[in-house]
């Protein structure tokens, strides 16, 4: 495959290097002559010291015969234009853009960029996955603040799985009233059997929460025990 990489920062440099090691034909465009020379010294004469946003230089770099164009500069607008020029002017079958501002993803996709890589989004996703989700989620405070609207996500180990609300020890002053299953919300009846993955919506007094937690989420110790 012939891959045209635009942007000789850290991402572009390592990308080009890896691609060459995997046996692909690579051209790397970097507009800063100093940086271009530095990369050329290290990985050979595949570097074109020109601005990859400029149509003329894209053409000279062989954009019209590229199988893939990867726009990995640090500027979203540059990456967008490189991909659009590659796509619409040079008929490149596959364009990949690095997107720094996650808000730009929708626009880029809409404007025809084939694939988007958003480091910001990926790191964000990774951080969010690490946040423990086996907790009650407080959705809102009701009344004078003494009541809370709560969501419990039933995950493996929850004592409520396979049981119905009438079999659970729900504290007084607390009501389980809805269940969200597969994105669909429905009223939770006393006899509805709960499944793993369900999200149970409850209203209760603040002091009921510990008990609700034990019934719907389970304690780590008791969960593994039974």
Cα–Cα distance measured from residue 162 to residue 113, given in angstroms and rounded to the nearest whole number = 46
Site membership for another protein, residue 25 (CB under 8 A): no
Minimum CB distance to another protein smaller for 13 or for 90: 90
For another protein, the closer of residues 56 and 127 by Cβ is 56
Non-local (6+) Cβ contacts of 208 within 8 A are 171, 172, 173, 174
Of 39, 47, 92, 170, the one binding another protein by CB under 8 A:
92
Structural tokens at position 125 = 């996703």
* Shortest distance in whole angstroms from residue 12 CB to another protein: 17
Stretch 57-86 residues interacting with another protein (CB under 8 A): 59, 75-78, 80-81, 84-85
Q: How far apart are CA 197 and CA 216, in angstroms?
A: 12
CB of 118 to another protein, least distance (A): 16
φ and ψ of 168, to 5 deg: -95, 155
User: Interface with another protein by CB under 8 A: which range of 104-112, 125-133, 159-167, 184-192?
Assistant: 104-112
Of 204, 42, 123, nearest in space to 8 by CA: 42
Measured CA to CA, the distance from residue 93 to residue 49 in angstroms comes to 24
Binding residues for another protein, per CB under 8 A?
53-56, 59, 75-78, 80-81, 84-85, 87-89, 91-93, 101, 103, 107, 110-112, 114
């Amino acid at each position: 495959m012939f891959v045209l990489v635009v942007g000789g920062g850290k991402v572009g440099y390592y990308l080009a290097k890896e691609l060459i090691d995997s046996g692909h034909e690579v051209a790397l465009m970097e507009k800063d002559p100093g940086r271009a020379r530095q990369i050329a010294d290290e990985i050979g004469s595949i570097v074109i010291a020109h601005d990859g946003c400029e149509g003329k230089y894209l053409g000279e770099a062989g954009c019209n015969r590229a199988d893939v164009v990867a726009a990995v500069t640090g500027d979203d607008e540059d990456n967008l234009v490189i991909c659009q020029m590659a796509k619409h002017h040079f008929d490149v079958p596959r364009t990949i853009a690095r997107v720094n501002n996650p808000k730009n993803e929708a626009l880029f996709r809409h404007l025809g960029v084939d694939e988007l890589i958003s480091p910001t989004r990926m790191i964000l996703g990774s951080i969010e996955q690490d946040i423990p989700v086996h907790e009650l989620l407080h959705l809102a405070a009701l009344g004078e603040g003494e009541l809370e609207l709560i969501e419990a996500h039933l995950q493996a180990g929850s004592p409520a799985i396979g049981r119905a609300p009438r079999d659970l020890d729900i504290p007084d002053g607390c009501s389980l009233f809805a269940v969200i299953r597969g994105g669909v919300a429905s009223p939770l009846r006393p006899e509805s059997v709960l499944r793993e993955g369900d999200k149970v919506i409850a209203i209760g007094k603040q002091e009921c929460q510990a008990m609700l937690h034990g019934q719907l989420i389970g304690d780590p110790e008791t969960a593994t025990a039974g």
